Every structure is written in structure tokens, then in C-alpha cells.
A and B are shown apart, each in its own frame.
Chain A
Amino acid sequence: MARVKLPIGPQHPALKEPENFTITLDGERVVDVDIRIGYTHRGIEKLMESRTYTQNLYLVERICGICSYAHVVNFTQNVESVLGVQIPKRAEYIRTLVLELERLHSHFLWLGVAGHEIGFDTLFMYTWQDREVVQDLLELISGNRVNYAMNAIGGVRRDLSDDHRKKVLEGMDYLEKRTAYDKEVAINEKTILARAENVGILKPKIALKYSAVGPTVRASGVTMDIRKDDPYASYAEIPFDVITTDTCDVLGRIVVRVLEVFESIKIIRYLMEHLPAGDVVMKVPRKIPVGESISHTEAPRGEDIHYLRANGTERPDRYKVRTPTMANLPAIAEMLKGSYLADVPIVIAAIDPCMGCMDRVLLLKEGSETPGDIIPWDRLRAYGIKWYAERGWKI
């Protein structure tokens, strides 16, 4: 059979969000991959410039539906750094708690999605049921399941009661037992091994060249974790290990995430046992002085970088976000080359892509124009009508 171009996306069951991977196939083998992004760009950075810092707290949270809290922590850290304030210790502990709970629910979610991509729906159902325990805890602590609205500039909005602490610890006991079972399934089940071992190979050198981050790069044997490398919140005080494997394949990415769940449980237990007393929020001025700041956190998917430039008003002058998926996406093309068509969904899923957070605007160029030209709206519209008319479609 001759070479076939198979479009995976923008609408495809393997992708949870619209993005396009055009795969060139030779039989069942992948020869080339063409990645096209830009289907879910939402213009959040621009929107932030027209809102106050307090309003932006809730906008920033909506960059991602899964690692929403990592973005808010980044934003508040940036603002607090420009203000030059140090938030109360108890607030830092509560932020760390929510960050780790978020990592738990994100990793459970990913494990289920990974199972689904290779057709193992039973694993999907099991892990998502366990994830509900984390979601319930998050709801108990913050009042919300996804966008927690937990942070204020200068601390957190809600305190933790003794009852909450007890429930969190109970939840961790349950999760530890369940995850031990999931680990056995994910690491020992023959069909999972057959699908994950030696699939989507990413060598450490190439991973660093494409600047991959998070569990993707840790599965390639590179020790890189912002929580250890540049501690924020209260990570400097907490004993935990950075998990790495050197298998460089999808199985490694599964193992790293499963073992990170155990580390997160360990961190949460430490936090609950050493929670300091005191205030959870401090008073800060509404106007932020002139200055700029950069903050990065270890989101469940990897390093999440935020940049803020403040101009002395109530609104930011410029805000810039680089989500972990953006860093991991170029490595996909490398991982896919030479693999089978059947491996495409799991290799794409193995970086835990979050397309909505990552998407960038694309500069559209007409064929005859010089490269880099930006097309004004009316000409783009005329071009679109012509494009459809040429193909015989009426709009």
C-alpha cells in the first residue's frame, strides 16, 4: 500500500481537545508527523491586560481545567514578588496541600486516559473512581472541584479546620491502598507492557534538546523538578524524592506518574502533621507598583512559567504564560517517528497534553504575500469565502 496521510484531529476520539497531527503512514509505520496547533486559542493573555489583579485571579485559573491551581499560584507569586511581601507560613502550607492534591487528581486522570488510549477501559474506570476521593477532598477544602478559587493575593481565602485535616489523612490512607493496586495493574499487566515498553522512545539528549519538561523528561532519566531545583511555597521544608526512570519509553512515563502519586501522598501527610498555626492571608494594596517578575512551578505536567510586567496601576501591563504542554509538544514528533499507527494515541497521551492551555495564535499568510505578513480581518474573510468557493461549497 502506498503512503497514506491520516489526519489525527482536529476532531478525533484519541484527542480530548482539538489539535491536528497529520500522520504519514507507510503501511502501519509512521514515517512523518506534522503538528498544527491553534484550534483553541482563547486570548487569555490579552484579556488579562484589561482586568484588575483580583479579577485576574479567577481568569488565570481558567487557563487549564486540570492544573488550574498551578497557574493561580504562579500568578499570585508573581504579584507578591512585585509587591515584595512574604505571605504567612500557614498559607504557604495550604497552597502546597492544594498543589499536591491537584497533582494527585491530575495523575489519576492521566492514568485513566492512558488506559483508555490503549483500550483498557477497566483501568480508566478504576482510577477515575479513586480520583473522586481527591475531588471530594478538594471540594471540602475549597468548595470547588476544579477551579478552586483558593488563592488571594497575600495568602489563601479559606482556612483548614482540624476536621478537614482528619478527613484529608483518611483520604490519603484509602488512596495509598488503591494506588498500590493500580500500580500492580499498570506495571505488571502483560498487555499494558506490550503496548508501553519500548514505545515512544525519547533519549535524554533529545529530550533536553527539545526542552521537554515534567514527567516526560523525568522518564528519560533527567532529574528535573522545580519543587527541588527552585523550591516555592513550602517545598524547601518538605522531605520528598524526585522520581526518575531511565527506560525513556511510555512505560517509564507511567511508572514515574504512579510513583509520584505515592510521593504526593507522603508530602500531604507531612503537611497535615506539621501545619503551622497563624493567619492565612495578609492585607495588600490594590495597586501593584512598577516592576516585573517571573515565577515557575512544577505543575502536574511539568514546568509552568509565568511572567508579569506591572505598570503601577490596578491592571497588569503584560502577562505571559508558557504551559508545560507547549514545551513537550515538539518532542512528540520525535517520539512518533518509526512507531506504529497503533502507538500514536498513547504516545501523544503520554506527555499528558493539555491543548487548551497551550494553544498559540498562528499568523496566517496568504500564498502570494511575503512571509510574516499579518492579514487584516476583511481580507482574511474574503480569502475564506474564496477558499470555500473554489471547493464548490456555499457559505
Chain B
Amino acid sequence: MGSFACVWNQMVRGTGVENIDPVLALIYLLIFPGVFFLFAFSLFTEYMDRKLYARIQRRVGPPFLQPFADLVKLASKEDIIPEKAEGFMFTAAPLFAVAAIFAAYLYLPIVTTTGLHSFNGDLVVVLYLLMIPTLAMFLGGWYSGNVFGQKGGMRVASLLFSYEIPFFLALLSPALVEGSWKMADIVSFQQAHPLALVVTVLGFGIAVVSLQGKLERLPFDIPEAETEIVAGPLVEYSGRRLALFRLARDAEMVVGAGLISVVFLGGPMPLLSLQPVYLSWALGGVIFLLKTLFVVLLLILIKSAVARIRTDQMISFAYKWLIPLTFVQIFIIIIIRYFGGI
């Protein structure tokens, strides 16, 4: 325990969480709001996604534990690696995807103004970590040796820039408002000036639409369009590797929605100081959770009201609408800052 406390003290120096007990830190890392909570929350989000989507379509939908049951069942199934697949890349891709998402999650300020670790530029790091599952999908599909997988991998790669650019630009616009790349600063600033949230409403909309593309959900589920290329990059995956990819997808939805709720909706704000410390953690966590679920709800509503568009249509949509609108957002911020509005 002593060495852990030492490492912990090294890690948290200058981040504002130095006063936290190492045992609480371990709880933070592994249970709440760490790995276990992300795991449970991801499955809950999948449940909510499936259930609400079903109710909108006037179906009954799955029972509460269905996503967990699916995961367990998939994990217990045979794991087949095709002869034509490039063994290492094919098997490693799902691990990269899950690891990157879980790492990104730890930087999110969920219960206080900081995540587990906070430094200037952590917003950019989270954005890059969120891109890794997409690349893992591309590599997994490309090295699967299946023509549908390769076609899906190609589509993943060719669509990357159409949502990544507006997503980056939109998420960096609140950073412009505050003048810092640090999520802790952004949240504290929003805590102090709640009205600043109104300035980035446009950016919020763009970020939600781009996140839909990032998660490959309707209308942007082109890479795994079932009726066209079966399951795209995932076509040769089975058993626990498929389960890992699905878990990565669910966790990506949570982290992506969480990131948007932190940057545009103030994350765990309004923060109250309660004693003992875990009470205020719990409150911050609940507020963060509700805001994240609100973003997820928007994602579900988009999914249920549209048809899938084509690759060329998605690229032209991104370059004709999303990217110009992010420039409008940035322009608005610059003007307001110039006239000293913020």
C-alpha cells in the first residue's frame, strides 16, 4: 500500500486531488468512477439505447440485464481466427480499442473538477485516445482477410476525417472561450460563469452529430451497414474479441457523451463541497451521469428518425455543413472575446 501511496502522490502532485486518501484513490481508479463503474455504465447505456430505440419503434425491447448476458455469452463462445487473417493485428485490435477507451475515461472530470490526472492539454489527449478504437476497427477489418471486412475497413478509414475534423474543432471551441486546453480549467470556468455555456450551443450540436458518426450509428453506420457489407470490419470476429469490440463501442459512447457533457454542459457542475468527501463525489457523479444520459438520449433520437446515408453523402455533409458551422462557432467566440463579453 505504501508504494502505491507514493506513486499516487507523484501522480496527483499539483492536480488538486493531493488530499485524497490512497484507499479512496484505489476506489476511484477501480470501482467508482473508475473501471468497474465504466463497465457497468456502458452496459446500462447499451440497455437504454436498445430499450428506448425499441419503445420508439413500438417494440418491447430487451430486459435490463440483456447487454450483460450478451457480453457473457459472447465471451464464452469459440474464438475463431480465420486462416487468411493476419494473426497479430487481427487479435490485438480489440484490445487496443478497449484499452484506449478506458484510459481516456480516467481523464474525464466526473466527480470533481479534475479526473484522475489533469494537465494542460488533457482535452487533446482524450480526443486522440477516442480515435484509437476507430483505427483498431480499420486494422481489424483490413487484416481479417475477408472482402467484406476489408471493404468495411476502407469505409472506416475514408470516413474518419469527415467526422473527426468537426468533432475536434467543436470540442476545442469551449477551450477557446476559457483559453485553456485543460478540462479542469474549463469546468471551473463554467462553474464560475454558467452563462458561458450558452455561447457554445452550436458547437454542442455539431459535437453530438459528429459523435454519432464517430460511433458509427445511424445515419452514419456506413462502415458496418448490415444490408450492404454484412458487418463490415467485424464480420470475421467472434467470441470474446467480438465481445471486446462491442464493449469498446458501448464505452466509447459513454466516454464520448461524457466528454461532450464535460466540455459543453459543465460535467459534474454545480459542484458542492460536502463532508465527507465521497458524498460530494457521489453527487458530482450523479449530475455527470444525468448529463451524459441526456447526450445519449439525443444520440438515440437521431438514430431512430433517419435512414443510412451513403459514403459520398456523408463526406459532402461533413464538408458542406458541419465544418463550416464549426468555423461559425469559432468566429462567434472570437467576436465575443474581442468585445470583452467573456
Binding site for B on A (CB under 8 A): 1, 4-7, 12-14, 25, 28, 115-123, 125-126, 129, 189-192, 194-195, 340-345
Contact = CB atoms under 8 A, between A and B. Distances in A.
B34 to A, nearest CB: 35
B57 A195 contact: no
Contact of A125 (B58, B306, B309, B311): B58
Given A118-B308, A119-B226, A122-B56, 13 more contacts: A5-B147, A6-B148, A6-B229, A13-B230, A117-B227, A119-B308, A189-B307, A191-B307, A192-B307, A194-B310, A195-B309, A342-B222, A342-B308
Identify which of A13, A119, A121 gathers the most chain B CB atoms within 10 Å of its CB. A119
B218 to A, nearest CB: 6
A118 B306 CA distance: 9
A5 B229 CA distance: 13
13 contacts: A13-B226, A14-B227, A116-B227, A118-B308, A119-B221, A119-B227, A189-B305, A191-B219, A195-B310, A341-B228, A342-B222, A344-B228, A345-B228
A129 B308 contact: no
A345 B222 CA distance: 13
A201 B56 CA distance: 34
Contacts of B307: 115, 118-120, 123, 189, 191-192, 194-195
Interface residues on B, range: 20 to 34
B82 to A, nearest CB: 16
B78 to A, nearest CB: 20
A116 B218 CA distance: 12
Contacts of B320: none
A120 to B, nearest CB: 4
Q: Which of B57, B221, B228, B230 has the largest number of chain A CB atoms within 10 A?
A: B228
Contacts of B305: 122, 189
Contacts of B117: none
Contacts of A343: 310
B310 A340 contact: yes
Contact of B309 (A5, A14, A129, A191): A191
Nearest to A121: B57
A342 B304 contact: no
A122 B57 contact: yes
B309 A194 contact: yes
Contacts of B84: none
B151 A6 contact: yes
A32 to B, nearest CB: 16
Contacts of A13: 226-227, 230
Interface in B283-327: 304-313
Nearest to A119: B308
Contacts of A345: 227-228
Nearest to A192: B307
B193 interface: no
A4 B147 contact: yes
> Which of B147, B222, B307, B310 gathers most chain A CB within 10 Å?
B307
Contacts, number: 81
Interface of B: 56-59, 147-148, 151, 154, 218-219, 221-222, 225-230, 304-313
Contacts of A1: 154
A84 to B, nearest CB: 49
Q: Which 9 A-B pairs have the closest CB atoms?
A: A119-B308, A120-B307, A125-B57, A14-B227, A191-B307, A345-B227, A342-B310, A118-B307, A191-B306
Contacts of B306: 120, 189-191
A342 B226 CA distance: 10
B227 to A, nearest CB: 4
Contacts of B151: 4, 6, 25, 341
A342 B222 CA distance: 8
Nearest to A11: B230
A115 B308 CA distance: 10
A191 B308 contact: yes
A129 B60 CA distance: 13
Contacts of B148: 6
A194 B59 CA distance: 27
B227 A195 contact: no
A119 B304 contact: no
A259 to B, nearest CB: 20
B296 to A, nearest CB: 18
Nearest to A6: B147
Contacts of B310: 194-195, 340, 342-343
A313 to B, nearest CB: 48
Contact of A28 (B58, B226, B227, B311): B311
B56 A342 contact: no
A119 B303 CA distance: 10
Contacts of A194: 307, 309-310, 313
A25 to B, nearest CB: 8
A195 B308 contact: yes
Contacts of A115: 307
A191 B219 CA distance: 8
Contacts of A344: 228
Nearest to A196: B307
Contact of A122 (B225, B227, B304, B308): B304
A1 B151 CA distance: 10
Contacts of B59: 125
A119 B147 contact: no
